[in-house]
Amino acid sequence: RKEVEQDPGPFNVPEGATVAFNCTYSNSASQSFFWYRQDCRKEPKLLMSVYSSGNEDGRFTAQLNRASQYISLLIRDSKLSDSATYLCVVNMKAGSYQKVTFGTGTKLQVIP
């Protein structure tokens, strides 16, 4: 089983739609969780942290379910500029650094 699993997509959605991405992780000792966004041929950029209490930033809402080892990202009112690959990231503290594990990413294409 992969450490972090995501549906690769692509998710093709019309502008204005709501879309949800899911991610599961295998190591219950994982400590911190993030969503990154990666545009084509660019570096990944930190989108938001994920907490059990939920985290909302404008049109984006992230949620962590520790019991189910499941992370979600909800995008409301999709814009064309939201088209990108969304990476689920799971961190575990390993001594003085973080062991950072990336999912394979979910590709989103927002269609006019």
Query: Contacting another protein (CB under 8 A), which of 12, 18, 39, 46?
Result: 46
Q: What does the DSSP assignment read for the chain?
A: --SEEE----EEEETT--EEEEEEES-TT--EEEEEEE-TTS-EEEEEEE-TT-EEETTEEEEEETTTTEEEEEE-S--GGG-EEEEEEEEEEETTEEEEEE---EEEEEE-
Closest approach of Cβ 88 to another protein, in Å?
11
- Report, in Å, the least distance between residue 46 CB and another protein: 5
Binding mask 79-108 for another protein (x = CB under 8 A): --------x-x-x-xxxxxxxx-xxxx---
- Residue 13-32 contact track with another protein, rule CB under 8 A, x = bound: ------------------xx
Site for another protein, rule CB under 8 A: 31-32, 34, 36, 41-46, 49, 87, 89, 91, 93-100, 102-105
